[in-house]
Every structure is written in C-alpha cells, then in structure tokens.
Structure 1
Amino acid sequence: MTIEARIRELGNRHRNLDETIRRETTHPATDSLRVRELKLQKLRLKEQITSLEALTH
C-alpha cells in the first residue's frame, strides 16, 4: 500500500470516528468513558496521518 493510500484510509477512519463521537454525544445517556476512548483513537489516527504526510513532503 502506498503512503498516500494509507493516509486516505486513516483519514476515512478518522472521519468515521468523528461521526461516531458526534452520535455518542447526542444520546441522553452518553457513556463518557466510551467517548474518551473514541477521542483517543481519533487523536492517534491524526498523529499517524501527520507523520505520514511529513514523509511525503
């Protein structure tokens, strides 16, 4: 897999997590621990994307 393809894949996962977090936070009985874990996953993906983008420049 090329770096660009990996960046796209990670970007898709990042957007999906963003949508999941949005849905989770709109429920009256929001599980704050789950939201925190999702946000950490999203942050890790963003860090991976940033690192890979740095390799392409």
Structure 2
Amino acid sequence: MPSVLGLMKQREARARQELESWSEVLEQAQVEVDAVRERVEGARVRREELASVLAEESALGE
C-alpha cells in the first residue's frame, strides 16, 4: 500500500504538470493577443490617416 506521503508527492507532480501545460497555453494566448493588438493599432492608425486625408481634400474642394 502506498504511503500517504508518496500519494501526496504524486498529486503534487500531477499538479505541476498541469500548471506547466496551462502556462504554455497562456504564453501562446499572450502571443496571439499581442499580434491581434498590433493589427488593431495598425488599423486604427490607417483609419485616422485616411480620415485626415479625406478632411484635407474636403477642405480644398470647398
């Protein structure tokens, strides 16, 4: 029969493996979030530039 201490060590080892697995998932998710954040920021900058150009052309056309 396994000892209580041995069972606790096994439980701890499984928990550490689970933690490592979830940490990897979290790291990959953060990479994805950062990439999408860059795309959003780029789209915002391009939209603002376009709005500025259209406003300038509109002002020249009046």
TM-score normalised to structure 2 length: 0.43
Larger relative contact order (C-alpha < 8 A, sep ≥ 6)?
1
Bigger helix share: 2
* TM-score, normalised with respect to structure 1: 0.47
